[in-house]
Structure 1
Amino acid sequence: MSELLAFDQLIAGYGNAVVLNRLGFTLQQGESLAILGRNGVGKTTLLETLMGNTRVMQGAIRWCGEDITRWPSHRRVRAGLGWVPQEREIFPSLTVEENLTVIARSGAWNLKRVYEFFPRLEERRGNYGNQLSGGEQQMLAIGRALMTNPKLLLLDEPMEGLAPIVVEELAASIRRLCESEGLASIVVEQHPVLALEMTHQAIVLERGTVVHAGTSAALAADTALLESLLGVGIAEVPDDV
């Protein structure tokens, strides 16, 4: 596999505040990566930086071998970054179908294919965004990102506030995107076991830098290491998800 993305000794943050401190990692074509760490260590900032929404002080971001550190956000989207933000940010006054088509770009992912992937969206195609359940809104946010035909899907807390049965369904969908569709992904998820189940690789952040990197399977199997890195007890999937 060839390199898709690399952070090279990146220092970034907001204004004069440094959040990511000499951050470095790579992601290969078709791989999925879990970003883990305690609250406030820079997980969401990593995604925001990748999308061009923070201030980069030093270092570089490489995308398919090209330095994109100074690219504006819209150019990054055109290059293949698909963004599913934590707040979902669907358009409440547009229908499901309008949400999906308003930013669509030509490619393998079209309306028919998204509806096949998320049949519930087709059932709700005429409903407005604010008429959907939380799980349906998350499906719509993912579907909308897929309609841009990305090479890399960025998911920030995709399971936040969802019922366990919906979490299970969405986790299976995210795994299928990578394993069956060959779409690379980066997942920030507050429940580490769930994040590791959805991904091939994992990194753990502390104070904006990588303190552990390895396969998701190996980290999931080493409960003691996982607990020491995150500083909390590890549960499968909490009942109050």
Structure 2
Amino acid sequence: MAELLKVENLSAGYGEAVVLHGIGFALGEGETLALLGRNGTGKTTLINTLAGATRQHAGSIALGGVALHKLASHERAAAGIGWVPQERNIFKSLTVQENLTAVERPGKWNPQRVYEMFPRLAERKGNLGTQLSGGEQQMLAIGRALVVNPKLLLLDEPLEGLAPIIVSELLKAISRITREEGLAAIIVEQHPQAILAISHQAIVLDRGTVVHADSARALREAPELLDRLLGVAR
């Protein structure tokens, strides 16, 4: 499998504060990486750094051979980064349809395919972002990242605060996007077993460094280790 993402000796943070220290990992085309760790260990900072929303102090990030660390955030999107931050950042004053068409780029993902993936959005395509539930806003945020037609999808806690039925629906969609459609992804999540079940690799952060890296399956099948690393085995 060809290498898609290569991160080497990455240090980054906010202003002069360094949160990440010497991060390094690689991700192949079509692979999904579960990014795990207790709260405050640097997971969101790593996602934000890949997207270009932090200050990078050292190291390099390459996506398909392109040096991302030299690019601004909007240039990283053009290079193939699809980002769904915790805040979702949908355009709340625009309709669902307008949210999707405003950022659409040529490729296999278009608004119609998003509506097929998320029928709830098809029913609400004329609704403003402010008129959507939290789950629907998350679906829209994911859909908006998809219509950019990225090479790598970054999802920061996509299941946070959502009802179990919506969590189940989103997990199925994310599994389809990654497993069936073959889109590479990095997923930050507080439900480790759910995400490990649909991931290929896993890394665990603690105090801004990688403290464990393995296949997702191996970590999922080692609940005692998972408990020791995260404080939660389920």
TM-score category, normalised to shorter length? over 0.9
- Tell me how far apart the structure 2 counterparts of residues 43 and 198 of structure 1 sit (CA, whole Å): 19
- Tell me how far apart the structure 2 counterparts of residues 43 and 193 of structure 1 sit (CA, whole Å): 17
Matches within 5 A, 1:2-41: 2-41=2-41
Runs of 4+ with deviation above 3 angstroms: none
Residue of structure 2 in register with 1:47 after alignment? 47
Residue of structure 2 in register with 1:169 after alignment? 169
**1:138-180 Cα distance to aligned partner (Å, 9 max, x none):** 1110001111011111000101110011101101110111111
- Residues 224 and 233, structure 2, Cα contact 8 Å, conserved in 1: no
- Tell me how far apart the structure 2 counterparts of residues 210 and 21 of structure 1 sit (CA, whole Å): 9
- Residues 34 and 187, structure 2, Cα contact 8 Å, conserved in 1: yes
Residue of structure 2 in register with 1:79 after alignment? 79
Matches within 5 A, 1:82-121: 82-121=82-121
Deviation, 1:66, is 2.7
Q: Aligned pair in 2 of structure 1 residues 9, 143: CA closer, same or farther (>3 Å)?
A: same
Q: State the percentage of identical aligned residues.
A: 62
Residue of structure 2 in register with 1:150 after alignment? 150
More divergent stretch after superposition (186-195 vs 75-84): 186-195
Secondary structure in 2 matching 1:21:
strand
- Residues 34 and 187, structure 1, Cα contact 8 Å, conserved in 2: yes
Gaps of 5+ in 2: none
Deviation, 1:114, is 1.2
Residue of structure 2 in register with 1:234 after alignment? 233
TM-score w.r.t. length of structure 2:
0.97
Residue of structure 2 in register with 1:181 after alignment? 181
Deviation, 1:233, is 3.1
**1:113-157 Cα distance to aligned partner (Å, 9 max, x none):** 111111111111111111111111111100011110111110001
- Residues 3 and 65, structure 1, Cα contact 8 Å, conserved in 2: no
Residue of structure 1 in register with 2:196 after alignment? 196
- Tell me how far apart the structure 1 counterparts of residues 130 and 97 of structure 2 sit (CA, whole Å): 13
Matches within 5 A, 1:126-141: 126-141=126-141
Deviation, 1:198, is 2.6
Gaps of 5+ in 1: 236-241
- Tell me how far apart the structure 1 counterparts of residues 102 and 144 of structure 2 sit (CA, whole Å): 9
- Tell me how far apart the structure 2 counterparts of residues 111 and 63 of structure 1 sit (CA, whole Å): 25
- Residues 43 and 205, structure 1, Cα contact 8 Å, conserved in 2: yes
- Residues 179 and 198, structure 2, Cα contact 8 Å, conserved in 1: no
Residue of structure 2 in register with 1:216 after alignment? 216
- Tell me how far apart the structure 2 counterparts of residues 75 and 90 of structure 1 sit (CA, whole Å): 19
Deviation, 1:191, is 1.6
Deviation, 1:75, is 0.8
